[in-house]
Amino acid sequence: MTAAVPPLPAERVPRHVAVIMDGNGRWAKDRLRPRAFGHHAGVRSARRVVRAASDAGVEVLTMFAFSQENWHRPEEEVSLLMRLFVQTLRREIKSLMKNRVRWRFIGEHSAFPPELQALMRETEAMSKDNDGLTLLIAVGYGGQWDIAQAASRAVAEGLTPSAEAIEARLVTAGLPPVDLMIRTGGELRISNFLLWQLSYAELYFCETLWPDFGSEEFLQALRWFAGRQRRFGRVPEAA
Ligand code: IPE
Ligand code: IPE
Ligand code: MG
């Protein structure tokens, strides 16, 4: 039996959580199975975490599913991941509509299979008026690309690429900044995820491989976050 844990006070729940879902390959390797086995298990973890975030009252959840650098993986793994994205989208859309989840896909999508691109656009259009969790799936995403595309657009509009002009053109424009970034799988790096948006995020790294990460681990990260003192460069408030 697990001990009862007091619920998190609403004002201590992060508004925006971003997750680097890492460790699928190692999880499969530990079981002497192909990497694909780990990616399939990873989809189940993603489902659990979306539900946990929604239940906890998180407003925005951004999940890193495929980086621009992941294009350099063997062709077989890339195409498996593409198929898995299509399959997962088709399978999940109904239940996520029921749960009022609003989907958005962030990244450079032109190299993705046309079927997947169409499915991403359809899912976004279908869910755009939902009022539950905003779920951002980062696919073909790179933090440097995001900043560069925002700056280029500002310049093309005849503006000076100031911090405000860039921020307003990032793929996350209009959403709250990331409060909590979680990376599973034990690596202590950002791997070109949301570079700008993580400026003042609290960073939570854990050894747990992504397929073993579930609602309890997610709540543990939220509890850790609730205990952090955020200063944003100021001096701490007097006790
Ligand atoms: C993360 O798991 C999933 C993707 C990058 C698509 P990995 O595939 O990177 O798993 P490890 O890091 O090799 O264990
Ligand atoms: C980061 O994981 C990207 C995703 C989880 C989608 P990687 O496994 O690609 O990162 P590195 O290569 O270990 O930095
Ligand atoms: Mg990895």
CATH architecture of structural domain 16-226: 3-Layer(aba) Sandwich (3.40)
In tens, the pLDDT along 146-175 reads 999 999 999 999 999 999 999 999 999 999
Among 190, 102, 117, 108, which Cα is nearest to 150's?
108
Which residue's CA is the nearest one to ligand 1's atom 3? 22
Is 192 close to ligand 2, i.e. is its CB under 6 Å away?
Answer: no
Gap from CA of 67 to ligand 2 centroid (Å)? 7
157: number of Cβ within 10 Å: 10
CA-closest residue to ligand 1 atom 12 = 23
Which residues are identified as catalytic? 22, 70
Domain boundaries, the chain: 16-226
pLDDT band at 8 (very low <50, low <70, confident <90, very high): confident
User: Quick check: CB of 21 below 6 Å from ligand 2?
Assistant: yes
> Rounded to two decimals, what is the model's pTM?
0.96
Ligand closest to 39 (CA) is: 1
d(CA 51, CA 188): 26
The CB of 71 under 6 Å from ligand 2? The reply is no
For ligand 1, residues with CB inside 6 Å are 21-26, 66, 70, 81, 185, 210
Q: What is the pLDDT of residues 30-55, one digit of tens each?
A: 999 999 999 999 999 999 999 999 99
Q: What are the pLDDT digits (tens) for 86-133?
A: 999 999 999 999 999 999 999 999 999 999 999 999 999 999 999 999
